Structure 1
């Protein structure tokens, strides 16, 4: 809900008369005699102390709430619209937050202390000891609501409307109270030395994405993508690869026409080629090339005629590095090898996209049977989505682990 300035003015117009009415209300409670009522100077000073104490504290509390509510993303967004404001907010919130808070709290504490001493002294003269306790209780309640709860609620709720004037106010406070601010800054740096303070951690961003779904600010799919992107760097190729036991690979020496049936039954456009076994991957062929050669009556040629180079990557490579490699080399497929150079699996650009979009990811602690079952489950799901017969998987599965298997 956006704040109109008229609404804010109405709130302040209701609060300020209450501040002024506190001592007058307390005066009425005491059935003051005529001599006390005539002492207008003491009453005026009492009202002045109360109004100044609560008013200054009200302003400081709003400034503190606004400053703490400003987000780094808001500051970044203001760089083009209002570069001056963005620079000031960056200095106050991101670079020297301790200075700003020290200035605000110094003025706020001073207002409370001076106000309490001055108002207490005048209240004792005006009311005497009989009603002084009542005045103190009323004053405490007013301080609680009018210098803490109400202003901080306003500041936290409507910070985007108040951030401009509050930033100028806090900046002026830092200049005026600089000696005290300087001492406070040195003290806080001494206490927090060696501590690396982050504005937001990776886990906090992930939690914010979940909260965004609960509050209706973002869609569940968007939240899932954000969380997957934040976890992207912590995953490696082994977490998303298709294991070797369910890879469809063809011998490079077979004729194109002999491979046509398996290739057309396979929904994927790139099929790895091997020389002697699946541990000796030499490249891959495009389904389109196979179909074109078949249409050109060149089906008697060997598959290696159409062979294209394929990159090999270790299992430990991060997904971020793999994505960068794919983009730089303009590749869509890679063979995953273990420390002995044996084929462990296959990974594609599609796998990376599925990871970002929220597909199920194999955990590195899963055993071979679990990975095989998961890969087969994904194959069946894709086959149904493409309108294919999922039983093709079982009909084409060889018995030997080193033989080619469907799916990549």
Structure 2
């Protein structure tokens, strides 16, 4: 075989090894990045290549090991074959330079140039380009590389088994366990960042972003933060006649009412308005609320919402009485209160009460005293905080240091809060004026 033919074969070998390296790099990133749900969708559409992708995804450790083995073999082969082959081609060119420059180190100079060229080719064509292609088009790339990767995994099955086993053994020796599946696991904060990026790119609407954030934060909230507080609970006395419950149900947009004996600290059950339908008309005149009583849950007001939701599901309940640290009634919470933290409040068409936050003609905003401080902060972009109170009314009371009266004002974080209405000793409504409100409502 002539030297020219040998040199040509070496150069072709270099090209083949670079392409092989690129193939295995693309295969690794594609199999890690492709969405399982999209693969299932392609299978349902009759795409036969998707079945090979699914098979690879069912045993990711094995097939990722196959791609890494391929990358390693290609890289070693490129170093073994590429540098000498290219250096041999460069030496005649280097020999043209003045002899005093190259007489001693012509081979070293050729080898250095060849090494730099091979490294550049390896990194750009064999690593960066295939990685970018696989990340931008994971589905298309996975469909192209799945079958060849399956063949590679089959051919090198003993070697892959030995390499995986050795790696896992070494990890166990240093007190670690092998990660399985090459799955991407994100923290809640990372998921929030992904949601923000998805909204910025136009994939998600603002309402969808808010809902996803609410889901992430759901487990961190406690029942106290979503409850109807004790002073706002609409309850009925156990021995009250049924027509009293009917009047209460008509006057308030609720379907469930706690039943108590003596006072609200002694809740004994729950009345549901649909039970009234089952009672004959004549019975309503003589029967008492006690006859309709259902069981009711009792939970601490510090119960986390995710735990409370599980209890609702397990006990097939939709409401619970919240108890404070002294065993008294702190408030009342329903499944609707929990869902409102995720999807937002959906107002009942029969609910004629004013919304928590309303725009006023003078540019200020009317706020219900029971509105949570965190909701006011989110609406206005404020940073109000009080360790002792959850509501904006409590915040104002804390700042005043005394019982409030209509006309009292408080300045905080650039905002002016003014007491507009009282309900006994409770602040019912406040007006809030802020120079740069974050959002507006209709």
Shorter chain as denominator, the TM-score bin is 0.5 to 0.7
Is the Cα–Cα contact under 8 Å of residues 102 and 181 in structure 1 kept in the other structure? Answer: no
Is the Cα–Cα contact under 8 Å of residues 21 and 71 in structure 2 kept in the other structure? Answer: no
Residue 363 (structure 2) pairs with residue 351 (structure 1): no
| Residue pairs, 1:123-134, within 5 angstroms | 123-124=89-90, 126-130=92-96, 132=110
Alpha-carbon distance in structure 2 between the residues aligned to 1:362 and 1:320: 21
Alpha-carbon distance in structure 2 between the residues aligned to 1:308 and 1:320: 24
Is the Cα–Cα contact under 8 Å of residues 134 and 141 in structure 2 kept in the other structure? Answer: yes
Alpha-carbon distance in structure 1 between the residues aligned to 2:53 and 2:372: 41
Alpha carbons of structure 1 residues 186 and 290: separation in structure 2 relative to 1, 3 Å:
closer
Aligned residue for 1:345, secondary structure, equals strand
Aligned residue for 2:270, secondary structure, equals strand
Deviation for aligned residue 1:235? 4.3
Counterpart for residue 31 of structure 2: 67
Deviation for aligned residue 1:272? 1.6
Alpha-carbon distance in structure 1 between the residues aligned to 2:422 and 2:258: 20
Counterpart for residue 31 of structure 1: none
**Superposed CA offset, 1:304-332 (max 9, x none):** 34433323234454434433443455432
Deviation for aligned residue 1:240? 2.7
Counterpart for residue 99 of structure 1: 65
Is the Cα–Cα contact under 8 Å of residues 242 and 285 in structure 2 kept in the other structure? Answer: yes
Alpha carbons of structure 1 residues 209 and 89: separation in structure 2 relative to 1, 3 Å:
farther
Q: Normalization by structure 1: what TM-score?
A: 0.67
RMSD: 4.2
Counterpart for residue 326 of structure 1: 312
Alpha-carbon distance in structure 2 between the residues aligned to 1:190 and 1:362: 54
Counterpart for residue 90 of structure 1: 57
Alpha carbons of structure 1 residues 72 and 104: separation in structure 2 relative to 1, 3 Å:
farther
**Superposed CA offset, 1:181-225 (max 9, x none):** 345424532454424746323424443333322222222333333
Residue 208 (structure 2) pairs with residue 222 (structure 1): yes
- Consecutive unaligned residues of structure 1, counting only runs of 5 or more, are 1-37, 376-392, 400-408
Q: Which is further off, 332-341 or 145-154?
A: 332-341
Counterpart for residue 353 of structure 2: none
Deviation for aligned residue 1:42? 5.0
Counterpart for residue 139 of structure 2: 160
Alpha-carbon distance in structure 2 between the residues aligned to 1:262 and 1:256: 10
Alpha carbons of structure 1 residues 295 and 183: separation in structure 2 relative to 1, 3 Å:
closer
Alpha-carbon distance in structure 2 between the residues aligned to 1:138 and 1:322: 64
Is the Cα–Cα contact under 8 Å of residues 63 and 155 in structure 1 kept in the other structure? Answer: yes
Deviation for aligned residue 1:345? 1.8
Residue 390 (structure 2) pairs with residue 370 (structure 1): yes
Alpha carbons of structure 1 residues 176 and 372: separation in structure 2 relative to 1, 3 Å:
same
Is the Cα–Cα contact under 8 Å of residues 314 and 338 in structure 1 kept in the other structure? Answer: yes
Counterpart for residue 116 of structure 1: 82
Is the Cα–Cα contact under 8 Å of residues 60 and 107 in structure 1 kept in the other structure? Answer: no
Which structure's relative contact order is higher, taking Cα pairs within 8 Å and 6+ residues apart?
A: 1
Is the Cα–Cα contact under 8 Å of residues 283 and 310 in structure 1 kept in the other structure? Answer: yes
Alpha-carbon distance in structure 2 between the residues aligned to 1:266 and 1:367: 32
Is the Cα–Cα contact under 8 Å of residues 221 and 304 in structure 2 kept in the other structure? Answer: yes
Match of 2:295 among 283, 286, 309: 309
Is the Cα–Cα contact under 8 Å of residues 102 and 184 in structure 1 kept in the other structure? Answer: no
Is the Cα–Cα contact under 8 Å of residues 335 and 343 in structure 1 kept in the other structure? Answer: yes
- Consecutive unaligned residues of structure 2, counting only runs of 5 or more, are 98-109, 346-370, 375-384, 396-420, 427-442
Q: Which structure has more strand as a fraction of its residues?
A: 2
Alpha-carbon distance in structure 2 between the residues aligned to 1:64 and 1:258: 70
Counterpart for residue 49 of structure 1: 13
Alpha-carbon distance in structure 2 between the residues aligned to 1:59 and 1:126: 33
Q: Normalization by structure 2: what TM-score?
A: 0.63
Q: Which is further off, 81-90 or 141-150?
A: 81-90
Alpha carbons of structure 1 residues 130 and 361: separation in structure 2 relative to 1, 3 Å:
farther
Aligned length: 344
**Superposed CA offset, 1:335-365 (max 9, x none):** 12346543222110101211221569889x9
Alpha carbons of structure 1 residues 260 and 172: separation in structure 2 relative to 1, 3 Å:
closer
Alpha-carbon distance in structure 1 between the residues aligned to 2:85 and 2:140: 33
Q: Which is further off, 203-212 or 347-356?
A: 203-212
Residue 136 (structure 2) pairs with residue 172 (structure 1): no
Q: Which is further off, 134-143 or 243-252?
A: 134-143
Is the Cα–Cα contact under 8 Å of residues 270 and 284 in structure 1 kept in the other structure? Answer: yes
